[in-house]
Amino acid sequence: MRNIKQIKNLKGKRVLLRVDFNVPIKNGKVEDDFRIKASFPTINFLIKKGAFVTLITHLGKDGTESLEPVIKHFFAISKIKKNKVSFFDNVRKFSGEEENNLSFAKELATKGDIYVNDAFSASHREHASIVTLPKYLPSYAGLQLEAEVKSLSRAFDKPKHPFLFILGGAKFSTKIPLIKKYLELADCVFVGGALLGDFLRVKGYEIGKSLVDENNYNISEILNNKKLILPTDVVVRSGEKLINKKIDQIEKNETILDIGKESIKNLAQIIKKSKLILWNGPLGKYEDGGAKATKEILKLVANSKAESILGGGDTVAMISKMKMEKKFSFVSTGGGATLEFLVNGTLPGIKALD
Ligand code: 3PG
Q: Note the pLDDT of residue 352.
A: 98
Average pLDDT, integer, range 67-89: 96
Average pLDDT, integer, range 46-67: 97
Domain count for the chain: 2
- Residue 284 domain flag: yes
Give, for 191, the enclosing helix (H) or strand (E).
strand 188-191
Average pLDDT, integer, range 19-42: 96
Both 187 and 311 in one domain: the answer is yes
Both 134 and 171 in one domain: the answer is no
Where a domain ends, among 146, 174, 204? Answer: 146
Instruction: Using the predicted structure, report yes or no on whether residue 185 has a pLDDT greater than 80.
Output: yes
Both 218 and 187 in one domain: the answer is yes
The alpha carbon of 196 and the centre of ligand 1 are apart by a number of angstroms equal to 25
Where a domain ends, among 118, 146, 174? Answer: 146
- Any idea what the CATH number is for the domain that residue 165 is in? 3.40.50.1260
Where a domain ends, among 113, 146, 179? Answer: 146
Are the CB atoms for 338 and 125 separated by under 8 Å?
no
Among protein residues, the one with the nearest Cα to ligand 1's atom 7 is 122
Domain with 62 in it: 4-146
Which residues make beta-bridge pairs with 165? 189, 278
Both 298 and 162 in one domain: the answer is yes
Both 227 and 339 in one domain: the answer is yes
Q: Is 335 a pocket residue for ligand 1 (Cβ < 6 Å)?
A: yes
Are the CB atoms for 119 and 336 separated by under 8 Å?
no
DSSP string covering 269-301: HHHHH-SEEEEES-SS-GGGT--HHHHHHHHHH
Ligand 1 atom index nearest CA of 313: 3
Ligand 1 atom index nearest CA of 61: 10
Among protein residues, the one with the nearest Cα to ligand 1's atom 10 is 61
- Residue 353 domain flag: no
Q: Note the pLDDT of residue 287.
A: 86
Name every residue whose Cβ is closer than 8 Å to that of residue 92 and which is 6 or more positions away in sequence: 58, 59, 60, 61, 62, 63, 98
Both 29 and 176 in one domain: the answer is no
Are the CB atoms for 136 and 35 separated by under 8 Å?
no
The string of pLDDT tens digits covering residues 283-339 is 999 888 999 999 999 999 999 999 999 998 889 989 988 999 999 999 999 999 999
Q: Is 112 a pocket residue for ligand 1 (Cβ < 6 Å)?
A: no
Both 126 and 211 in one domain: the answer is no
Q: Is 181 a pocket residue for ligand 1 (Cβ < 6 Å)?
A: no
The alpha carbon of 122 and the centre of ligand 1 are apart by a number of angstroms equal to 6
Both 199 and 305 in one domain: the answer is yes
The string of pLDDT tens digits covering residues 115-160 is 999 999 999 999 999 999 999 999 999 999 999 999 999 999 999 9
What gap in Å lies between CA 100 and CA 94, rounded to an integer? 10
- Residue 256 domain flag: yes
Q: Note the pLDDT of residue 212.
A: 86
Both 84 and 61 in one domain: the answer is yes
Q: Note the pLDDT of residue 291.
A: 95
pLDDT grade for 214, boundaries at 50, 70 and 90: confident
What gap in Å lies between CA 148 and CA 131, rounded to an integer? 18
The alpha carbon of 22 and the centre of ligand 1 are apart by a number of angstroms equal to 7
